[in-house]
């Protein structure tokens, strides 16, 4: 069996793609799986780290203003589609999966033109542009939220939830505290701004470090690569008290296991991980995303009293008042935790692979 998985750009696309690949390989150990990403994007390093081969296309997104790059965009797309077509001819996949991101479009355009079974996995509650454009061409669309028929043909939809690495919810708290060098007698706050980091969260967290230390709170603060050097300097005076700046957290299973409360952006992957781990959280949706889809992701939890929400514009003044109040309220933590667990889809990855295998079987 041969499968191509295309897309990337952020961890929110890459990690679900890897979860699908892992489940497929678990069921079919001899399956050949090839990733296709965009040159210069983070999938070109993260996917090989996960043990899979990846091929890069020279493709990027449209700018939101008139630029010379936009004038070249159609040429880039045509070249990328041509390269993707040649790749399909040489690799001869039984099916293609698109997870969103720049590289997804040319690969799925080429695959559907060749009649190769194709499946889209849409992570967000507001569908991405690439997936909306490709919806009429693909065979199946796996979604994480109800009501997605306003974006996609209803007959192609399967409500699966988002693929999340199963080990994310299996971390042992004692092992996690030892791993990060934290004190079991004091509360732990986990701050995650997505795989690329978040300026607003980083600025608010840096300003709140003295308050957090005074309250006896320990912090695991994932900053992102761009913001890490400054954050490391800001956190250094507080390291002895258990307040740590981290560029990127490889062992998210242990980070979640250690945390009493999580402050997070509301990317689709982060929201799905919070549901699966059952962590009480405060969500700060990024305003710098298409159609404000992170707010829509967050509201899917907030309307079930499964998370708290602080607007990005209010993070500097409100975020750490809310965080400290929640850290001091175990009953509210338990309530949020119980509610968010009800929204989890622990079988998501398995269901998506079921749908993929059905497509392959139908073709054969």
Q: Summarize the annotated binding site for UDP-N-acetyl-alpha-D-glucosamine as residue ranges.
A: 10-12, 124, 165, 195, 268-273, 294
161 within 8 A of 344, measured Cβ to Cβ? yes
Residue list for the binding site: 10-12, 124, 165, 195, 268-273, 294
CA dist 95 → 33, 54, 282 (Å): 10, 16, 39
H helices then E strands: how many in the chain? 14, 13
Q: Give the residue among 37, 105, 117, 50 at the shortest CA–CA distance from 77.
A: 105
Q: Give the residue among 188, 180, 156, 163 at the shortest CA–CA distance from 100.
A: 163
For 15, left (φ over 0), alpha (ψ -120 to 50), or beta? alpha
Q: Give the residue among 10, 62, 8 at the shortest CA–CA distance from 36.
A: 8
From CA 100, how far away is CA 5, in angstroms rounded?
10
Angle, helices 268-277 vs 293-302, to 10°: value is 20
From CA 253, how far away is CA 170, in angstroms rounded?
6
From CA 286, how far away is CA 309, in angstroms rounded?
12
Element (H, E) at 4: strand 2-6
Q: Give the residue among 264, 286, 285, 284 at the shortest CA–CA distance from 275.
A: 264
């Amino acid at each position: 069996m041969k499968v191509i998985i295309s897309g990337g750009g952020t961890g929110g696309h890459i990690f679900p793609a890897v979860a699908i690949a892992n489940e497929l390989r678990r069921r079919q150990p001899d399956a050949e799986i090839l990733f296709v990403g965009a040159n210069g994007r983070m999938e070109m390093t993260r996917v090989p780290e996960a043990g899979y081969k990846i091929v890069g296309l020279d493709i990027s997104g449209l700018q939101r203003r008139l630029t010379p790059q936009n004038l070249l965009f159609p040429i880039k797309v045509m070249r990328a589609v041509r390269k993707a077509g040649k790749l399909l001819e040489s690799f001869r996949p039984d099916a293609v999966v698109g997870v969103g991101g720049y590289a997804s479009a040319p690969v799925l355009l080429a695959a559907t033109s060749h009649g190769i079974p194709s499946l889209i996995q849409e992570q967000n509650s507001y569908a991405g542009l690439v997936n909306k454009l490709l919806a009429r061409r693909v065979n199946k669309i796996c979604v994480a939220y109800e009501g997605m028929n306003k974006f996609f043909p209803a007959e192609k939809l399967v409500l699966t939830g988002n693929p999340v690495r199963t080990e994310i919810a299996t971390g042992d708290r004692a092992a996690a505290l030892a791993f990060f060098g934290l004190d079991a007698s004091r509360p732990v706050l986990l701050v995650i701004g997505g795989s690329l980091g978040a300026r607003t969260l980083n600025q608010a967290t840096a300003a709140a470090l003295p308050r957090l230390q005074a309250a006896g709170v320990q912090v695991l603060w994932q900053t992102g690569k761009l913001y890490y050097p400054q954050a490391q300097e800001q956190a250094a005076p507080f390291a002895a008290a258990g307040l740590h700046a981290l560029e990127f957290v490889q062992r998210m299973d242990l980070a979640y296991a250690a945390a009493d409360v999580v402050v997070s952006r509301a990317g689709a992957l982060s929201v799905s991980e919070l549901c699966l781990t059952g962590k009480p959280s405060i969500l700060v949706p990024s305003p710098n995303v298409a159609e404000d889809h992170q707010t829509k992701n967050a509201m899917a939890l907030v309307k079930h009293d499964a998370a708290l929400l602080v607007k990005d514009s209010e993070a500097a003044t409100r975020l750490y008042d809310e965080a400290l109040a929640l850290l001091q309220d175990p009953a509210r933590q338990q309530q949020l935790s119980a509610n968010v667990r009800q929204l989890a889809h622990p079988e998501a990855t398995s269901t998506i692979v079921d749908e993929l295998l059905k497509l392959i079987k139908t073709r054969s």
